[in-house]
Structure formats: structure tokens, C-alpha cells
Amino acid sequence: MKKAIWFDMDGTIANLYGVENWLDKLIAKDASPYKAATVLVNMNSLAKALHKAQANGYTIGIISWLSKNSTPDYDKKVTAAKLAWLKKHLASVKWDAIHIVAYGTNKANVCGGGILFDDEIANRNSWTNGKAYNPTDIMEVLNSIA
């Protein structure tokens, strides 16, 4: 298996769905929920585990979808908000790759395998050349490999 660890953001490490009126805002092309989302994982523990994984030869990355209600201008705003969120909450992490892709993109086709953490069961089921996990398993899996 490829020594790579990939994270979805929304619903996996970022609590997008906990932002008040998140769906109405996204439909209105308001990217603020992506930036305002709280964390779903202890970020200090996650950062330490990711540093350790990288020291052990793993590449680490983000593979996250853009909004379903997409336009090129809105995609730029969503991408900027997601990057700002990562910088705010995981500033010490030096990501090897960040892919913010069109809604519905098969993530396995973008990343090529390794470990995936994703809240969407369809994404976990379509993940090839590796293992996919529910976000509740993040720290347990990282602690077992790092």
C-alpha cells in the first residue's frame, strides 16, 4: 500500500455541517461556512501524529470537494476559505498535497491510494489501492502507523 494519508475536510476534520444555516449560505454562494467551521478532531494531537507519520515516510494530503453549487468565482472563494481554515487550525503541518476538486470527483482517481479519512461512505467504498476509514478512527489509525 502506498505510504500516503489523505483527509477529506467537510464532516471529517472541519465541522461544516455544524455551522448555522450552512446549506442556505452555500446555496447563496457564501463561502463563509467553510472558514467558520469548528474542528472535529483535537488539532494538536492530529498535528503531532501527522508530523510523526511524515517522519516515518508518509506523505500527507487533503482531498476535499468544492461546493455542489459551483461557479468558477465561487470555487475560488471556497478554495481560499478551505486553505485559510487549514492554515488556522493546522498551521504547523506542511501538506505534501492539497487537492480541492469538483463536487462528486472520485477521490481515488485523484490521489492514487493510501489511507483515506472521509465521512462519506460512498467515498470510502470507492477508495482503491489502500484503506478508507470513518473520521472517528483518525487518531487510532494514525497512532497505529506512526
Residue 125 is predicted with a pLDDT of 96
pTM: 0.96
Residue 145 is predicted with a pLDDT of 86
Collapse the DSSP code of 132 into the 3-class scheme (helix H, G, I; strand E, B; otherwise coil) and give the result.
strand
Residue 1 is predicted with a pLDDT of 60
* Rounded-to-integer distance, Cα 46 and Cα 69, Å: 30
Domain boundaries, the chain: 4-145
Within 8 A by CB and 6+ apart from 131, the residues are 1, 115, 116
Cα–Cα distances (Å) from 53 to 9, 49, 114, 120, 132, in that order, read: 19, 6, 13, 24, 17
Average pLDDT over the chain, rounded to whole? Answer: 96
Report residue 2's pLDDT band, with 50, 70 and 90 as the boundaries. Answer: confident
In this prediction, what percent of the chain has a pLDDT beyond 90? 95
Report residue 146's pLDDT band, with 50, 70 and 90 as the boundaries. Answer: low
Supply the DSSP symbol for 60.
E
Within 8 A by CB and 6+ apart from 102, the residues are 65, 66, 70
Give the pLDDT confidence of 46-90 residue by residue, as tens digits. Answer: 999 999 999 999 999 999 999 998 999 999 999 999 999 999 999
* Rounded-to-integer distance, Cα 135 and Cα 143, Å: 14
- What topology does CATH give the domain 4-145? Rossmann fold (3.40.50)
Is residue 31's pLDDT more than 80?
A: yes
